[in-house]
Amino acid sequence: MREVWAKFCHLFSSRCGLSDDLSEEMESHLQFLIEKNIERGIPPEEARFVAHREFGNRSTVRERAYATWQFPSFETIFQDIRYGIRGLFRAPTFAFIVILTLAMGIGANTAIFSAVYAVLLKPLPFPDGQRLIWLGEGVPKTDGGISVTWLNFEHWNSENHSFESMAGFQTADHTMTGRGQAVLTHAGVVTSQFFTLTGSHALLGRLFTPSDDSPNAPPVVVVNQAFWAGALDGDPHIVGKTLDLDGGSYEIIGVLPRDPGFFLRRPDYYLPFRPTPVQLVRRDAHGSMRVLALLKPGATLTQARMDLDSIMERLAHADPGPEDHHRAYLEFLTEERTGDVSHALKLLMGAVGLVLLLSCANVGGLLLEPVR
């Protein structure tokens, strides 16, 4: 421990002082060898020659002593730093140009990479987010997709071989009454599997179960923690009480500790998806429902698309209608959320990469010029 402490003391002390100490030690050792040779009967001049030969190269001995008394790697780093600082003060204008050039290239790359990471590279905050698929209906060889009808969703969910689970979802607005002034609120309307796919858990009470998806099930609601803490005053006994929406009474069965962050506009609460009587009987009765699905491990998007398209073809033969040409639209959720922005960000990343390359080339060119 004492040896390490001594090294640290020498590391931050003056190198000149260390050099003087080494010179004194080396000279004392040489003098000792000379005197020892003279005592053995060797003439003084020859004794000095023999002592120098026994001692070895003074420069090599000095460097070894430095390595013993200090940390060579840190010493080299400190030397480089001191040399760089001296160079900056010798040519401040040149140093300013170099620093400004590199700062522009590095700063642009850092800013764009931060955006690219947040949009393209950062994993989705859901379990197995890389396997989540956005589903819709569409016409073959066309981009995008439209909403999924309830009957198509039911057949997809029960007959597919490519997905572990599926959930339908959409948004809706309702007027809340019975708690002071009427307030417009926002709802996420989902099937029970939605919370499983987004990794949500209840803070109080419970979340939706498959029985809540039944059209004849009692009306229930799950509220977000922020809505519960604000509009509902953070009532710890809120589970079991009711929420009046558009004149209807909904039983509060649970509180979410955090919103899944799936919808662009955060809902105040969630309601079970209840299809209308028309949606229950007509395969072309579109609303605004989309579908979230979890791809099975090892399954590909192409296989899943072929799987759902085969179901759509069977439905077209069994229940002909105006949308017999419709097929499944599938896209990874990561790709669906970024859309055309991903291409723009990739182009920007390439552009700022070239800017950094040009900055480094300019600095290299400046370094080739003699600094005056």
Whole-number pLDDT of residue 104: 83
Whole-number pLDDT of residue 7: 53
Whole-number pLDDT of residue 9: 58
- C-alpha R_g of the chain: 38
Whole-number pLDDT of residue 2: 54
**Helix 15-39 with 58-69: angle, nearest 10 deg:** 130
Strand 269-272 with 183-190, pairing: parallel
Whole-number pLDDT of residue 369: 63
Whole-number pLDDT of residue 334: 81
DSSP conformation letters of 242-261: EEEETTEEEEEEEEESS---
221 alpha-carbon distance from chain centroid? 32
Distance, in Å, from the CA atom of 212 to the CA atom of 205, rounded to the nearest integer, reads 14
Distance, in Å, from the CA atom of 339 to the CA atom of 263, rounded to the nearest integer, reads 16
The one-letter amino acid at 235: D
Whole-number pLDDT of residue 323: 82
Structure tokens at 87: 């160079």
Q: What is the pLDDT along the chain (372 residues), one digit of tens a residue?
A: 555 555 555 555 545 555 666 777 777 877 887 778 787 878 878 878 777 777 777 777 777 766 666 666 667 777 788 887 887 788 888 888 888 888 888 888 888 878 777 666 666 778 888 899 999 998 765 556 788 999 999 999 999 999 999 999 999 999 999 888 899 999 999 999 999 999 899 999 999 999 998 888 999 999 999 999 999 999 999 999 999 999 899 999 999 988 777 887 889 999 999 988 898 888 888 888 999 999 999 999 999 999 999 999 999 898 888 888 888 999 888 877 766 666 777 777 788 888 888 888 888 887 776 544
Distance, in Å, from the CA atom of 171 to the CA atom of 271, rounded to the nearest integer, reads 9
The ranges assigned to domains in the chain are 2-90, 92-122+340-368, 129-338
Whole-number pLDDT of residue 125: 75
Distance, in Å, from the CA atom of 296 to the CA atom of 280, rounded to the nearest integer, reads 28
Distance, in Å, from the CA atom of 229 to the CA atom of 233, rounded to the nearest integer, reads 5
Give, as one character, the DSSP assignment of residue 131: G
φ and ψ at residue 141, rounded to 5 degrees: 65, 25
CB distance 149 to 322 below 8 Å = no
Q: Which residues contact 229 (CB under 8 A, 6 or more apart)?
A: none
Identify the burial level of 281 via C-beta atoms within 10 angstroms of its C-beta, where 0-12 means exposed, 13-18 middle and 19 or more buried. Answer: exposed
Whole-number pLDDT of residue 319: 83
